[in-house]
Amino acid sequence: MANIFPKATNVIVIKASFVLSIVGLLAVIAVWYYFTPKYSRVGYQPVQPVAFQHDIHVGQLGLDCRYCHSYVEVSGHSNFPATQTCMNCHRQIQANNPKLKPIRDSWATGQPVAWVKIHNVPDYAYFNHSAHVNRGVSCVSCHGKVNEMTVVWQHESQSMGWCLQCHRNPENYVRPIAADKPGEQSPIYNLDWTAPPGKQGEIGRKLVHDWKINPPKDCAGCHR
């Protein structure tokens, strides 16, 4: 009986398995990447109920982060401003701007504005803002240069591996709390502050030593 398959089919199996394994590998890599926070989170830029522009308020007008996020130094949760905070200025400034109607409505009715959450730390992770901003971690480290964003997007992946980069080597990220010169803004809240070129390591190591910075690297630091 003659061979049903020509001889070339012997090689096809090998070739096919080679190609399939590469395709399979690529598929795994693609799905893997698709599900990482780097892909799924970074760049998330939802439409907010009010077109609040950080670049105008912070970048141009020079508002401190803490004017609105007022409890960041004392609470684990960095609060969103109450409508009242907006109305402090917008009772006079841009008082009839149609873009601010949701704010005025909220003020009149007492119904809060439902801002869309961008940075979402899972419920089983307990991130504490006050522990970071009081210990030399600037807002910019996790949120990017919000002072240049018209509409805020997620700048960092904020995955656990990303957190641990800093928790393992804090000297690469921490900065002084006190302003370089009296009257200047604290480097924590000055999002444009950078260490003098080549000096971050030196500054960081000094701060880590002086402040006894020893960030938790075990589970219980964040997971309770």
Partner 1 sequence: MKRIFNHPPAPTTGKKYWRSLEEYAATPEFRAKLEREFPQGAAELDGNEVTRRGFMQFMGASLALAGLSLTGCRRPELHIVPYSKGVEWQIPGNALHYATSMPRRGGAFPLIATSYNGRPTKLEGNPNVPGYNGSTDIFGQAAVLDLYDPDRSKSVLKALERGKDYEEGTWDDFWEEFAILRRDYLKNGGDGLAILAEPSTSPTRERLRVELKKQFPKLQWAEYEPWGASQALYHDLEKADVILSLDADFLGASEGNAQTIAGFAAGRRRLGKTQETMARLYCVEGRFSLTGGMADHRLRLPSSSILGVTTLIAQKLGAGSSGGFAAFSDPAIDTWVTEMVKDLSNAKGRSLVICGSQQPPQVHALVAQINETLGNKGVTVFPQFVPRLIEAGLSELSEQISQGTVKTLLVLGGNPAFNAPADLGFDGVLTQVEQVIRLGLHVDETSATCTTHIPAAHFLESWGDALDYRSTYLSQQPLILPLYDGISEIELLAALAGWPKAKGAEYIQETFASLTGIAASSGKPFDDAWHKFVHDGYYAGQLSFPIEGGLNGMMGMGSTMGLQKAADQQVKPLQPGEYELNFILASVDDGRYANNGWLQELPDPITKLTWDNALYVSPRTASTLGINIVPPNNNSADTLDTDFNPRTTDAFAAVDPMSAYPMVEITTPDGRKMELPIIVAPGQHDQTLTLALGYGRTAPALTKAARESVTPSLRVADKAGFNAYQLRTTTTPGFVTGVTIKKLDKTYPLAVTQEHNSMEGRGIVREASLDKNHSDPTWVQEIGIDKDVLQLNATGGVVKGLQHVEDGKMVDYQKYQPVYTPPPLYSPTNQPDRPAWGMVIDLNSCVGCGACMVACQAENNIPIVGKYQVLRGREMHWIRNDRYFASDNPPQELNTKADPAYLDDPQMLIQPMACQQCENAPCEPVCPVNATVHNEEGLNVMAYNRCIGTRYCANNCPYKTRRFNFFNYNDRPIQTVDITMPLIGKQSVGELYLGPLAGKNGPLTYKGSPDSIALQKNPNVTVRIRGVMEKCTYCVQRIEEAKIGQLRRSNNNDEGSGDISIPTDSFKVACQQVCPAEAIIFGNMNDENSKVTAAKKDERNYGVLAYLGTAPRTTYLGRVRNPNLAMPGAQYIGNTSIFEAPEKKGEEKPAGTDHASAHKLNREKLTV
Q: Which residues bind partner 1 (CB under 8 A)?
A: 40, 44, 46, 71, 73-77, 79-85, 106-107, 109-117, 120, 122-124, 126, 128, 130-131, 134-135, 177-178, 186, 210-212, 214, 216, 218-221, 223-224
Closer of 15 and 168 to partner 1 (Cβ): 168
Nearest partner of 138 among 182, 87, 190, 179, judged by Cα: 190
Measured CA distances, 61 to 139, 169, 173 (Å): 18, 34, 27
Shortest distance in whole angstroms from residue 13 CB to partner 1:
36
By beta-carbon proximity to partner 1, the closer residue of 26 and 114 is: 114
Q: Rounded to the nearest whole angstrom, what is the least distance from the CB of residue 134 to partner 1 in the complex?
A: 5
Residue 151 has a CB neighbour count (10 Å cut-off) of 14
Q: Between 45 and 194, name the residue whose CB sits nearer to partner 1.
A: 45
Strand, helix or coil for residue 172: helix
Rounded (10°) CA dihedral 71, 77, 80, 81: -20
Pick 23 or 105: Cβ nearer partner 1:
105
What whole-number distance in Å separates Cα of residue 31 and Cα of residue 100? 41
> Which residue in this structure is represented by tokens 């960041």?
72
How near is the Cβ of 220 to partner 1 at its closest, in Å? 4
- In whole angstroms, how close is the CB of 87 to partner 1 at the nearest point? 9
